[in-house]
Amino acid sequence: MTAALVVIDKYRTGLNGVSSHSSLIKVLVLHGPNLNLLGAREPGIYGSVTLAEIDSMLVAEANQLQAEVEAMQSNHEGVLVDAIQAAKTKFQGILINAGAYTHTSVALRDAIAAVKMPTVEVHLSNIYQRESFRHHSYIASVAIGQISGFGVQSYRLGLHALIHHIRHSN
């Protein structure tokens, strides 16, 4: 399990010099099974970037967007379900690469539907260019959108899209 957290200034100074509370958006980043092996795992498909490097990039990107991310990885479906259920109290959105559970897990789909939190689904590879069993996503129907095929950029683009959605729906 990896974890990354950054807290940025909660107070920004307005034009009139008065500090005002800015809305700090907190996003839970969930990585599913085998993504802990990134860097070494099938680099021809997933690239050479490690999960720790992806999490660091997301922390920096969130910082730029006046937001905060907390990332976790698990190889266990129930652990991911628990994380989604617990997210409601602490986060405003979920960025998820459910790995192989994307194509198999009604439980993850139901957890996302239950918490009713804006969720963006991301994949490093283009799942529609790969084996047919990867063409169906149980997550897609409960996500606000999906980004697939841009490598590490899928996470970055997904984070931007999620934060933009949260900001503009409040």
Active-site residues, by number, are 46, 123
**Applying CB under 6 A, which part among 11-19, 61-69, 86-94, 120-128 lies near ligand DQA?**
120-128
In this structure, are residues 55 and 95 in contact, taking their beta carbons and an 8 Å threshold? no
User: Which residues make beta-bridge pairs with 123?
Assistant: 148
Contacts of 80 (CB under 8 A, 6+ apart): 30, 32, 74, 98, 101, 108, 111
Site string for ligand DQA, 51-90 (x = CB under 6 A): ----------------------------------------
In this structure, are residues 56 and 1 in contact, taking their beta carbons and an 8 Å threshold? no
User: Which residues make beta-bridge pairs with 19?
Assistant: 13
Q: Which is nearer to ligand DQA, 25 or 95 (CB)?
A: 95
Tell me the closest approach of the beta carbon of residue 130 to ligand DQA, in angstroms: 7
Q: By CB under 6 A, is residue 134 in contact with ligand DQA?
A: yes
Helix (H, G, I), strand (E, B) or coil at 158: helix
Size of the site for ligand DQA (CB under 6 A): 10
Tell me the closest approach of the beta carbon of residue 13 to ligand DQA, in angstroms: 40
Q: By CB under 6 A, is residue 97 in contact with ligand DQA?
A: yes
Give the integer Cα–Cα distance in Å for 94 and 71: 10
In this structure, are residues 161 and 120 in contact, taking their beta carbons and an 8 Å threshold? yes
Give the integer Cα–Cα distance in Å for 70 and 65: 14
**Applying CB under 6 A, which part among 4-12, 58-66, 94-102, 104-112 lies near ligand DQA?**
94-102
| Contacts with ligand DQA, residue ranges (CB under 6 A) | 34, 97, 99-100, 102, 123-125, 127, 134
